[in-house]
Amino acid sequence: MEDPTSTIIKQVQNTALLSDEKKLQAEQQQQNSAAAPDTQQSVQTHELLSEWSFWYVYTLSHREKKKLGKKARFNEYQLHEVYSFGTIEDFWRMFNNVYQISEIIPNTDFLLFKKGIRPEWEDPYNKQGGKWVVTLPIEEDMEEECNEAWQNLVLHMISGQFENYELINGAIFSIREKHYRITLWCSDNNNIPKIKRIGHKFKEICQLPEKYLFGYQLHQKALQHQLDNEAFLKLND
């Protein structure tokens, strides 16, 4: 039996895909009928468990850093908070206007986090946690699979379909010159069984071939600039 939240998402997606013209017509009809509220059914929205913010980052390539020299440090990594939403309808209006993976240039990050949490290691909600990571080489032509994995992850995340939803802070899709990377950020490393269950769900959602490894990295190591930030946990099954 299909999950009720999944059913709602599919139903609402069609509403969010209305053309601008149809949206304008609907708004005009609603205004015209304002004097007779009993005869007009209001448009229903579906609130999410949390509000979310979509962020965008373009990171300078090594060639660009070399060209800019000292100026590069001021432009190397700048977070841009683009859009916030708290309903499924508003999510689709955002998501349907975001570039597809095939349209993204290298050194770009798409970041989706609970509102109020900056997608940085230093954020108080992140620094005691870590992230599940899966990396796919670009030459293996997994563009379509990555796009589907990212969409599935985002839908499960915002609709609260993770068992330990309270530990989920956000997710990032990164494209570099040689690889794609999808990461799922968690807030706390203290409960290893819960972190593992989140990891297994993450892997299940992505539906990628078994050869791609899922590992969990600690933010504290990144904060300490430890370059050997190997996976603290690995999924072997």
SS3 at position 173: strand
Summarize the confidence of residues 142-170 as an average pLDDT: 95
Summarize the confidence of residues 135-160 as an average pLDDT: 92
Listing DSSP states for 120-153 in one string gives: STTSTTTTT-EEEEEEEEGGG--HHHHHHHHHHH
Q: Which residues form the domain of 103?
A: 49-234
Q: Report whether 111 contacts 31 (CB < 8 A).
A: no
- Indicate whether 111 and 201 sit together in one domain: yes
End-to-end CA distance of the chain: 26
- Indicate whether 39 and 53 sit together in one domain: no
Helix locations, the chain, DSSP H: 4-16, 20-32, 62-68, 88-95, 143-158, 192-206, 219-223
- Indicate whether 22 and 59 sit together in one domain: no
pLDDT reported for residue 199: 96
Q: For residue 139, what pLDDT band results from cuts at 50, 70 and 90?
A: confident
The CATH number linked to 123 is 3.30.760.10
Q: What is the pLDDT of residues 8-53, one digit of tens each?
A: 344 444 444 444 444 455 456 555 555 444 434 467 889 999 999 9
Tell me which of 44, 60, 78 is where a domain ends.
44
Considering the chain, what percentage of its residues have pLDDT values greater than 90?
53
Highest-confidence range of 15-29, 95-109, 129-143, by mean pLDDT?
129-143
pLDDT reported for residue 33: 52
- Indicate whether 104 and 193 sit together in one domain: yes
- Indicate whether 54 and 160 sit together in one domain: yes
Residue 201 has pLDDT above 60, yes or no: yes
Residue 1 has pLDDT above 50, yes or no: no
Reference 134, options 172, 177, 187, 190; nearest CA is 172
Q: Which residue(s) pair with 80 in the sheet?
A: 56
Token pair belonging to 205: 């959602």
- Indicate whether 61 and 31 sit together in one domain: no
- Indicate whether 124 and 201 sit together in one domain: yes
Specify the pTM: 0.77
Residue that has been written with the tokens 């990171």 in this structure: 59
pLDDT reported for residue 221: 83
- Indicate whether 39 and 54 sit together in one domain: no
In angstroms, rounded to a whole number, what is the distance separating the alpha carbons of residues 11 and 231? 39
pLDDT reported for residue 222: 79
What is the tally of structural domains in the chain?
2
- Indicate whether 199 and 128 sit together in one domain: yes
Summarize the confidence of residues 78-97 as an average pLDDT: 92
Residue that has been written with the tokens 């005691």 in this structure: 128
Q: Report whether 146 contacts 136 (CB < 8 A).
A: yes
Q: Report whether 109 contacts 173 (CB < 8 A).
A: yes
In angstroms, rounded to a whole number, what is the distance separating the alpha carbons of residues 56 and 58? 7
Output the 3-class SS for 73-89.
HHCCCCCEEEEEEEEHH
pLDDT, averaged across the chain:
80
Report how many helices (DSSP H) and strands (DSSP E) the chain contains, helices first. Answer: 7, 8
- Indicate whether 91 and 106 sit together in one domain: yes
- Indicate whether 40 and 53 sit together in one domain: no
pLDDT reported for residue 3: 46
